Amino acid sequence: MLILTLALALLSQPAPGADPDPRPVVLTGADAPALLGAAPASVRAFAMRDGVLTPIPVQVDERFVYDLAVVYAGLAPEDCPRRNWCEDLAGHVVELGYADPDTHVGLDPDVTLDADDEIALMLADFGPPVDVIASGAVEVAVTAATFPALASGETRYAYLFAAPEAWMGDAPEPHVAYAPAFARGEYLATYDRAGEHPPRFMSSLYGYPSRQRPASNPETTTLTTAHYAVGFSDRWIMDELRIDGGPDILDVDMVAFGPGVCQRTPYTASLSEGGFLVNRSGPVRAIRRVVGFNSGPLAELQWTFYARYAESRASLRVHRVPGVMNFLDLMPAMHGAVYRSASTPGGALIDGRIDPSVGDAFPSWEIVRGPLAAYAVRHEVSARGFSPRLTTAYRDERQPSVMACLHDREYVGAHGVWVRSKIPNTDPRLGDPAAISLSRRFVFGGDPRAGLAAMDAPLAVEVR
């Protein structure tokens, strides 16, 4: 028997008269030893529904230890526009990561379910216990401090086992639909990992955004769930977000050194060397992990998308920089929405005008709520080797006082985190690096306050 306490943000489907609980449950193979050695595709999950044991979505993601520099396999330094950006890459970042046969990472050397592989389920799919557990089955029992539709401390159950091929049956409907789509063609055959193909309108690795030809490897990649949809137009460029069937509210998910600094943005990053470590989907979640941001060839960003919940984690690995900020800039259609955060709990109207009531402190949580969309965000910054100064990145200016490196040239309720201090070297190639990562957790739709509460509620998971 194994007890796990998970402080993860998770997901659920709506119950009558209640806001959905947005949490997933993620186990490892080591948590379910009875399943070790099974074929990942054979793992099935069931829960009680109206007195009947019913199939529910389950996803096994294989993991193994590999070198992040595998994304550059076959490239020589002279293949890249900046030779030093593609030098001395191997051996510096070797860690446990997801397998992907459609990238240079490839398959897990152990193609069975092993101890470090992950098994993902949705809490909303769990149900009451069964009276008798079949031989070889694994029971997963989840007890939460609160469930939106259940009494505090109530326990829900799901059951896992490895099914014989003849017993597979029809798979339940997936929670996510992720569709990678590259303009050049299939990733392994056509992706420009050297960054040698900038758009004609950009004569160098500097420039302004364009929806028509954003960067070296244009995409029309989409992620769709019943609650939200996002779109990517290149490796680092997420520029579409729709919530609960509404219109696109996102200009871009921006990364920059500071306000008005256009020399390094998702557009220049997507013109540079880099590629994908993971770009795949299953019935429970989609995982997108990219590497390479200009002079940070080992800088990376991973997105994990669930039905109402998503998380991102950016790891900076680059020479000294003056700071970094990561924020979502919204569309002008979001004027009239209200922004709230840990430093601005009373709220600020998004209307294109500077609001002096917006606090400058680090926004550990943020809420945006308006007629077109509502969502909540949790921020975490982890640093080693230095103490960063953290503040809000919030700006709302129709006529900006600094250059807006954005499609519409204005800041519309732009919100996120600003590391407002110098960051020492974080590139392991340059010796004795510091480290910093920026993490975000999102809950889309429903009551954002309930979403924040769910993200903060720990779960006790018992596997037996």
Question: Collapsing DSSP states into helix, strand and coil, what is residue 315?
Answer: strand
Label residue 112 exposed, middle or buried (CB < 10 Å: 0-12, 13-18, 19+). Answer: middle
Phi, psi (5° rounding) for residue 326?
Answer: -135, 120
Q: Which of 248, 251, 246 is nearest to 266 (CA)?
A: 251
With beta carbons less than 8 A apart as the criterion, state whether 374 and 243 touch: yes
**What residue type is 179 in one-letter code?**
A
Q: Kindly write down the DSSP assignment for every residue of 342-389, as one continuous string.
A: TTEEEEEE-SSS--TTS--B--SEEEEE-SS-EEEEEEEEEEESS---
Check residue 199 and give its pLDDT: 56
Check residue 132 and give its pLDDT: 81
Tell me the pLDDT of the chain (464 aa) as tens digits. 333 322 222 222 233 334 557 889 999 999 999 999 999 999 999 999 899 999 999 999 999 999 999 999 999 999 887 899 999 999 999 999 999 999 999 999 999 999 999 999 999 899 999 988 777 889 999 987 665 544 456 889 999 999 876 455 677 999 999 999 999 999 999 999 998 776 544 444 444 454 444 578 999 999 999 999 999 999 999 999 999 999 999 999 999 999 988 888 898 899 889 999 999 999 999 999 999 999 999 999 999 999 999 999 999 999 999 999 999 999 999 999 999 999 999 999 999 999 999 999 999 999 999 999 999 999 999 999 999 999 999 999 999 888 888 777 899 999 999 999 999 999 999 999 999 999 999 999 999 999 998 888 888 999 98
CA distance 392 to 72: 35
- Residue whose tokens read 């505090």: 152
Q: Which structural domains are found in the chain, ordered by start?
A: 175-456 (2.70.98)
Check residue 127 and give its pLDDT: 92
With beta carbons less than 8 A apart as the criterion, state whether 306 and 285 touch: yes
Check residue 167 and give its pLDDT: 56
